[in-house]
Chains A and B, each alone.
Chain A
Amino acid sequence: MIAEFGLAALWLAAALAALQLIAGFVGARSGDIEGAGAFAALARSAAGLQALLCVAAFFALLYVFAITDLSVKLVATNSHSLKPMIFKISGAWGNHEGSMLLWVTVMAAAGGAIALIERRLPERTMMAVLASQAFVGLGFYAFLLLSSNPFERLAQPPLEGNGLNPLLQDVGLAFHPPTLYIGYVGLSVAFSFAVGALLTRAVTPQFATVMRPWVLASWIFLTVGITAGSYWAYYELGWGGWWFWDPVENASLMPWLAATALLHSVSVLAARDALRTWTIMLGVIAFSMSMLGTFLVRSGILTSVHSFAVDPERGNFILFLLALYIGGALVIFAMRASTIAEGKRFSALSREGALVVNNVALSAILGIVLLGTLYPLFTEAFGVRVSVGPPYFNPVGAIFFIPMLLVLMVGPLLRWRRDQISRVIKPLALVAAIILTILIRVAILNDIAILPLLGLAFAGGLAIASFAPLFRGALRRTPLALWGMCTAHFGVAVVLFGMAADSAFQQERLVAANVGDTVAVGPWSGQLESVNPVAGPNWTAMQANMHLSYNGRPAQPAQPQSRHFWSPQMETSEVALLTRWNGQLYVAVGNQAPDGRWQLRLWWKPFVTMIWYGGLLIALGGALALVGRVIGDLRRSNPREDEDVPDDEAYTA
């Protein structure tokens, strides 16, 4: 009964989306004619009701998972009555159908929120936004109802369900996909705004102010999602690295790169009425990248360590949606690009100029990642199988990342519209001195590769430079958004430091050790005390017990395991991580060689944790900016039009 209720709610929501599309379209066309208000009211209430219905459908799915109703096919194939409740609940979206329902629900909730709350845009533009949001929504409803119905029943309920892939039974992972989806869906809202503004020729600072919180919020979620995903891969896959350049990782990185550029553009548009075309373009591209990422992951077209079980039907469906929305938006954009009036002019040496460089660099990195991700597809079409990895991505990405870092140190100090280099020469000289000092000192003391060396130096420079904008005005009067910007930029420096320190100073020992042997790595030494079998509910493992000492002082023991799951057959590595303030010791145990020795892998990774702390700092910066913006927007409903906004008021991200 509950499952049928959920399905009915979804069909109703889809019908309302069709209504919203028509009402929004008519409302946008008729503009200020008598009676247009009725269409507007209709579109808004259709969006609000849709949100309620989708949330109800999602709760219906949570309910059938919570009670393990095995007559529902999705529950029977993905759940088990003996699973802990948290995994029963998270199992609801740990599969294709459920995750698409979550996607649609978040999308409907966002659409409802816009329709009911947002009153700042011209009514015609608002109607066009609601119509395009309904158009995107309809495609996803069709996908869900026609090819991935989560509420499908089984004629013969089995006695027990199939359970969930053991690798996925991890609390961190249960909440990783929803975080990314919220990010993707936020970008779909930004896309609707861009299309609506384009159709009604209303690309204005006012529009940017309205769009900004959505971009910012989805960017924060994407940042957190990528950071968490990277950490999961690091401790779960047992190979000692934190970024694979795997297609699925790239699928989440590409929208982030586009969203980062979009975030900065939309801020310039809101504050200074420049970069109009960039903003619309990036709005279309950011959502294109989320759709493309979804397509690559869900269609099984690329081989990846995380691929979903899929059928080609679904791939074709998503491909059709991709072509419809992205192709459609690009064509509209190409036809309408000339109607976007030019914004305010600025000289090359200005904050706008710096942000254009930032957009270009981010777009170039995006292109590089896109090319590397799709390249195997091209070659496969010609019958050759290749895989593209770090040897391509790292150096080629760095070529654009380095100038971006340089601009990141200078840009926030520049004035809007036009500036003289003489004004910022002092702080720049200080930063340059810091960079040079680090470069020379590290180069003399250590023999390390060029990229990590540059990384360390720039991280130092950027760490100082990122706080420079705060010394402009009184700290008490500094707006929250500016604090947010500085925090996020400092976060970039922290991430960079973590990456560079890890690749420069990491020490690795791969040994075959007998019980009783001692292995030394960096300041650590460990004695293999014993190896004994351990059994879990659905796995058996060999667990190594090691006594460790750090600089001669005893530390807590490490107990890495090599686990063997029976159903499905799978080897996983449960690594032991010992975290200190200055890094992490990473211990993994492998198989036993025929002569009785055990394979041990030990890594000492100085400051590697900074990568994830930095990622969280970037997200925190975004959150500060979002709070600051929302409060600010509530205070004054129209942005200042005057030329001389004080510097400490102006920047926004």
Chain B
Amino acid sequence: MKRLRIALWVIVVLAAGLFGLFYHQLSQPKNDFVQSAMVGQPLPAFDLPAASTERPGLSDKDMGDGKARLLNIFGSWCIPCAAEAPQLDLLERSGAQIAAVAIRDRPEDVDRFLAQYGNPFTRIGGDKISEVQMAIGSAGVPETFVIAGDGTITYQHIGDIRADDVPVLLEELRKAEK
């Protein structure tokens, strides 16, 4: 009986510890996004055809030429992508070069999207089957990556870019120039 009581109090203490852990975890900010494991890795090789009639396609050779760039993953069918258009515009006017990959899209839809929301992109590759999106570890649209001058992925922004994310991205670009 004595051993049983000791065992029970041990369980009570363990349960208390567990509740403490749960409470600690609940009070943490929840990060539901899938972080790319590719941050810090070189960009994988790819070569995508043009996704729109307005801009050329995109391959990994178009980046990593000594200049840091933003790589925006979007889709004309995606509502948050339209919501981040003004911020992309502001980034471009602040001197950022932005390449893009359109996911599962048709050229006429991309053209319509660009006509409606502006076109801050230098090149737009069409990724019909999400393979490039998978390869760089992006789990959804929109996402924006910072690609350093040597072709390394240095930063990932998940979700649409809000006004207060713009300075962060510009700072990351500046860091990636070095």
Interface residues of A (CB under 8 A from B): 277, 295, 299-301, 303, 312, 315-316, 319, 322-323, 326-327, 330-331, 333-334, 337-338, 374, 377-378, 380-381, 566, 569, 591-594
Among residues of A, the one whose C-beta sits closest to the C-beta of B78 is A569
Q: Which residues of A contact B117 (CB under 8 A)?
A: none
Tell me whether A300 and B12 are in contact in the complex, defined as CB-CB below 8 angstroms, given that A295-B22, A381-B24, A592-B129 are known contacts: no
Q: Which residues of B contact A592 (CB under 8 A)?
A: 129
* In contact, A327 and B9 (Cβ under 8 angstroms): no
* Minimum CB–CB distance for B125 against chain A, Å: 13
* In contact, A326 and B15 (Cβ under 8 angstroms): yes
Q: Which residues from 65 to 89 on chain B have a C-beta closer than 8 Å to any C-beta of chain A?
A: 77-78
Contact of B21 among A277, A326, A381, A594 (CB under 8 A): A381
Q: Which residues of B contact A593 (CB under 8 A)?
A: 129
Q: Which residues of B contact A326 (CB under 8 A)?
A: 15
* Minimum CB–CB distance for A334 against chain B, Å: 4
Tell me whether A301 and B15 are in contact in the complex, defined as CB-CB below 8 angstroms, given that A330-B8, A334-B5, A337-B4 are known contacts: no
> What is the CA–CA distance of A439 and B78 in the complex, to the nearest angstrom?
57
* In contact, A319 and B23 (Cβ under 8 angstroms): yes
* Minimum CB–CB distance for B15 against chain A, Å: 6
Among residues of A, the one whose C-beta sits closest to the C-beta of B6 is A334
Among residues of B, the one whose C-beta sits closest to the C-beta of A591 is B129
* In contact, B11 and A301 (Cβ under 8 angstroms): no
Tell me whether A315 and B129 are in contact in the complex, defined as CB-CB below 8 angstroms, given that A303-B32, A327-B15 are known contacts: no
Among residues of B, the one whose C-beta sits closest to the C-beta of A339 is B1
* In contact, B19 and A380 (Cβ under 8 angstroms): no
Contact of B30 among A300, A322, A334, A591 (CB under 8 A): A300
Asked if B27 CB lies within 8 Å of chain A CBs, one says yes
* In contact, A312 and B8 (Cβ under 8 angstroms): no
Tell me whether A330 and B4 are in contact in the complex, defined as CB-CB below 8 angstroms, given that A301-B25, A592-B129 are known contacts: no
Q: Please provide the 3 A-B residue pairs with the shortest distance between their CB atoms, ordered closest to farther.
A: A334-B8, A315-B26, A323-B19
Interface membership of chain B positions 1-44, coded 1 if the CB is closer than 8 angstroms to chain A and 0 otherwise: 10011001101100110110111111100101000000000000
* In contact, B19 and A327 (Cβ under 8 angstroms): yes
* In contact, A327 and B26 (Cβ under 8 angstroms): no
* Minimum CB–CB distance for A132 against chain B, Å: 18
* In contact, B25 and A337 (Cβ under 8 angstroms): no
> What is the CA–CA distance of A334 and B18 in the complex, to the nearest angstrom?
18
Q: Which residues of B contact A594 (CB under 8 A)?
A: 128-129
Q: Which residues of A contact B26 (CB under 8 A)?
A: 299, 301, 312, 315-316, 319
Query: Which has the most chain A C-beta neighbours within 10 Å: B16, B26, B77?
Result: B26
* In contact, B78 and A377 (Cβ under 8 angstroms): no
> What is the CA–CA distance of A326 and B17 in the complex, to the nearest angstrom?
13
Contact of A337 among B1, B129, B140 (CB under 8 A): B1
Among residues of B, the one whose C-beta sits closest to the C-beta of A314 is B26
Tell me whether A378 and B21 are in contact in the complex, defined as CB-CB below 8 angstroms, given that A330-B8, A338-B1 are known contacts: yes
* In contact, A334 and B23 (Cβ under 8 angstroms): no
Q: Which residues of A contact B18 (CB under 8 A)?
A: 374
Q: Which residues of B contact A381 (CB under 8 A)?
A: 21, 24-25
Query: Which has the most chain A C-beta neighbours within 10 Å: B22, B30, B128?
Result: B22
> What is the CA–CA distance of A315 and B21 in the complex, to the nearest angstrom?
13
Q: Which residues of A contact B16 (CB under 8 A)?
A: 327
Q: Which residues of B contact A299 (CB under 8 A)?
A: 22, 26
> What is the CA–CA distance of A566 and B24 in the complex, to the nearest angstrom?
37
Cβ contacts A to B, 10 pairs, < 8 Å? A301-B26, A312-B26, A319-B22, A333-B8, A334-B9, A338-B4, A381-B21, A381-B25, A569-B78, A569-B140
* In contact, A377 and B12 (Cβ under 8 angstroms): no
Among residues of B, the one whose C-beta sits closest to the C-beta of A288 is B15
* In contact, B4 and A277 (Cβ under 8 angstroms): yes
> What is the CA–CA distance of A323 and B14 in the complex, to the nearest angstrom?
12
* Minimum CB–CB distance for A390 against chain B, Å: 21
Q: Which residues of B contact A319 (CB under 8 A)?
A: 19, 22-23, 26
Among residues of A, the one whose C-beta sits closest to the C-beta of B2 is A338
> What is the CA–CA distance of A586 and B27 in the complex, to the nearest angstrom?
43
> What is the CA–CA distance of A301 and B32 in the complex, to the nearest angstrom?
10
> What is the CA–CA distance of A380 and B24 in the complex, to the nearest angstrom?
11
Q: Which residues of A contact B8 (CB under 8 A)?
A: 330, 333-334, 337
* In contact, A327 and B21 (Cβ under 8 angstroms): no
Q: Which residues of B contact A303 (CB under 8 A)?
A: 32
* In contact, A337 and B5 (Cβ under 8 angstroms): yes
Q: Which residues of B contact A277 (CB under 8 A)?
A: 4
* In contact, B9 and A377 (Cβ under 8 angstroms): no
Q: Which residues of B contact A377 (CB under 8 A)?
A: 21-22, 25
* Minimum CB–CB distance for B81 against chain A, Å: 11
* In contact, A312 and B32 (Cβ under 8 angstroms): no
> What is the CA–CA distance of A281 and B27 in the complex, to the nearest angstrom?
31
Q: Which residues of A contact B5 (CB under 8 A)?
A: 334, 337-338
> What is the CA–CA distance of A239 and B26 in the complex, to the nearest angstrom?
32
Q: Which residues of B contact A327 (CB under 8 A)?
A: 12, 15-16, 19
Among residues of B, the one whose C-beta sits closest to the C-beta of A295 is B22
> What is the CA–CA distance of A337 and B32 in the complex, to the nearest angstrom?
43
Q: Which residues of A contact B24 (CB under 8 A)?
A: 381
Q: Which residues of A contact B11 (CB under 8 A)?
A: 330, 334
* Minimum CB–CB distance for A522 against chain B, Å: 29
Given contacts A374-B18, A569-B77, 19 further A-B contacts (CB under 8 A): A277-B4, A300-B30, A301-B22, A312-B30, A319-B23, A322-B22, A323-B19, A327-B15, A330-B11, A330-B15, A331-B12, A337-B1, A337-B8, A338-B5, A377-B25, A381-B24, A591-B129, A592-B129, A594-B129
* In contact, B19 and A322 (Cβ under 8 angstroms): yes
* Minimum CB–CB distance for A600 against chain B, Å: 15
* Minimum CB–CB distance for A601 against chain B, Å: 16
> What is the CA–CA distance of A418 and B118 in the complex, to the nearest angstrom?
85
* Minimum CB–CB distance for A200 against chain B, Å: 19
Tell me whether A330 and B12 are in contact in the complex, defined as CB-CB below 8 angstroms, given that A301-B22, A323-B19, A381-B21 are known contacts: yes
Q: Which residues of B contact A333 (CB under 8 A)?
A: 8
Q: Which residues of A contact B23 (CB under 8 A)?
A: 316, 319
* Minimum CB–CB distance for A287 against chain B, Å: 13
Among residues of A, the one whose C-beta sits closest to the C-beta of B103 is A569
Q: Which residues of A contact B1 (CB under 8 A)?
A: 337-338
* Minimum CB–CB distance for A597 against chain B, Å: 12
Among residues of B, the one whose C-beta sits closest to the C-beta of A374 is B18
* Minimum CB–CB distance for B73 against chain A, Å: 13
> What is the CA–CA distance of A381 and B25 in the complex, to the nearest angstrom?
7
* Minimum CB–CB distance for B7 against chain A, Å: 9
* Minimum CB–CB distance for B8 against chain A, Å: 4
Among residues of A, the one whose C-beta sits closest to the C-beta of B4 is A337
* Minimum CB–CB distance for B52 against chain A, Å: 19
> What is the CA–CA distance of A277 and B4 in the complex, to the nearest angstrom?
9
Interface membership of chain B positions 100-113, coded 1 if the CB is closer than 8 angstroms to chain A and 0 otherwise: 00000000000000
Among residues of A, the one whose C-beta sits closest to the C-beta of B16 is A327
* Minimum CB–CB distance for A363 against chain B, Å: 11
* Minimum CB–CB distance for A296 against chain B, Å: 9
